[in-house]
Amino acid sequence: MFLLGDFEMRFSVFFLVCLLVVETIFCTDFKPCEEHSSNGIQSLNIEGCENFTQCIFYANKDAVISTVFNVRTKYDDVMVGVYYKLGFTWFPVPGFPRPACVNDELSCPLEPNTTYNYTTKSLIPSYTPRINLDIKFELMDKSTLKSIVCAVVNVKIV
């Protein structure tokens, strides 16, 4: 038996599922991580993103992330972390976290009220599943592992 209330409920569920699918496909703006807001990302550039309307990482190629940011506190040594989210859990990308002041373009210590440019890259393994997922990019204080700057962006692995 078909009831109007049942139809409305089914339509509402269908509509919400459609919204989630659309968000998964098209929501690619980067956003600061919720746990941190004291330091500022002035810009974030990810190769494969055009104004964050379509972020694409290619398997078996380097993913390159660059940021311009400022800090309000001195940090003696810095680590870079890149994580991917499956379900509700963040997992480190192989090779991360790693020192940011050794092989990359960051000179430590970081001084307060100073603007920095930072670029890191990592090979996307050929066996990586072809999926859409959130990637978290984070610079953190090596001694406390507290976030200095952090951003999340949705990417598609192809």
Are the CB atoms for 82 and 133 separated by under 8 Å? Answer: no
What confidence score (pLDDT) does residue 51 get?
Answer: 66
pTM: 0.73
What confidence score (pLDDT) does residue 85 get?
Answer: 93
pLDDT tier for residue 48 given thresholds of 50, 70 and 90: confident
What one-character DSSP code corresponds to residue 19? H
Residues, the chain, total? 158
Average pLDDT over residues 116-138: 91
Residue tagged 């998964």 (tokens): 24
CATH for 4-157 (3.90.730.10, 3.40.50.300, 2.60.40.770, 3.40.640.10)? 2.60.40.770
What confidence score (pLDDT) does residue 5 get?
Answer: 52
What confidence score (pLDDT) does residue 54 get?
Answer: 66
Asked which of 21-25, 117-121, 140-144, 149-153 is least confident by mean pLDDT, the reply is 21-25
Kindly list the domain boundaries of the chain, sorted by start residue: 4-157
Are the CB atoms for 150 and 38 separated by under 8 Å? Answer: no
Average pLDDT over residues 27-51: 71
Phi, then psi, of 75 in degrees rounded to 5: -125, 120
What confidence score (pLDDT) does residue 60 get?
Answer: 94
Q: Return the SS3 of 151.
A: strand
What confidence score (pLDDT) does residue 115 get?
Answer: 93
